[in-house]
Chains A and B, each alone.
Chain A
Amino acid sequence: NAGVTQTPKFRVLKTGQSMTLLCAQDMNHEYMYWYRQDPGMGLRLIHYSVGEGTTAKGEVPDGYNVSRLKKQNFLLGLESAAPSQTSVYFCASSFGLYYEQYKQYFGPGTRLTVT
């Protein structure tokens, strides 16, 4: 099993450009999450999904959109990138149905710089 994979690993964007980050998991997990991690701020939840075809807003959703068309994939889109979106982005997944299944498995992260 590959676990949780993220594409790309690094990206540099100019202000106003758009891009999509892809997260894929091969563990048949129901729940998937997108976080951003900034120095001194910890991990902050952007959007999450509790099943195929569903999405919900997290703590810092502005400027981002998501889609979960297939159970194994969770896409994070930036329509018009801003320097404030420079961050490390982590995707995570969990079974989300019972007790220990709420533990999250994280991907390796995508380091995004917006100039």
Chain B
Amino acid sequence: SQKIEQNSEALNIQEGKTATLTCNYTNYSPAYLQWYRQDPGRGPVFLLLIRENEKEKRKERLKVTFDTTLKQSLFHITASQPADSATYLCALTHGGYQKVTFGTGTKLQVIP
């Protein structure tokens, strides 16, 4: 069956350290992989998108990698800040680019 797994429900990290979140998938052939941020009571907000033929993408303190052989994406936040505390969702674009399936998310807490 198809499955998207994010490494843990919650991740606590000290301010200033690099947070690394994992997204693993099975039985999908995604065209794109996306990462979103969701704050309590709000809708998800888009952060980064990476294509199947791209290895790495960066945006300011954010970096995402995509390994289609391992069927895994890693999402890094460098120099983490308390304001980075939120739930982070990975999502796969598949089904002829029309469908998007989300993982259950990882709740990140950055401790001052």
Contact = CB atoms under 8 A, between A and B. Distances in A.
B93 interface: yes
B104 A40 contact: yes
Given A42-B105, A102-B93, A103-B49, A108 B42 contact: yes
Interface in A47-74: 48, 50, 56, 58-59
A48 B41 CA distance: 23
Given A90-B43, A109-B43, A45 B100 contact: yes
Contact of A96 (B43, B44, B98, B105): B98
Interface in B33-53: 34, 36, 41-46, 49, 51
A45 B101 contact: yes
Which secondary structure dominates chain B's binding surface?
strand
Contacts of B51: 99
B97 to A, nearest CB: 7
Contacts of A4: 43
A86 B15 CA distance: 37
Nearest to B45: A106
A48 B99 contact: yes
Contact of A109 (B42, B49, B93, B98): B42
Interface of A: 4, 31, 33, 35, 40-45, 48, 50, 56, 58-59, 90, 92, 96, 99-100, 102-109
28 contacts: A4-B43, A35-B102, A40-B104, A42-B89, A42-B103, A42-B104, A43-B89, A44-B102, A48-B98, A56-B98, A58-B99, A96-B97, A96-B98, A99-B49, A99-B51, A100-B49, A102-B34, A102-B49, A102-B93, A103-B46, A104-B34, A104-B36, A104-B44, A104-B91, A104-B100, A106-B45, A108-B43, A109-B41
Given A4-B43, A104-B44, A108-B43, 10 more contacts: A35-B102, A42-B102, A44-B102, A56-B98, A96-B98, A102-B34, A102-B97, A102-B100, A106-B45, A109-B41
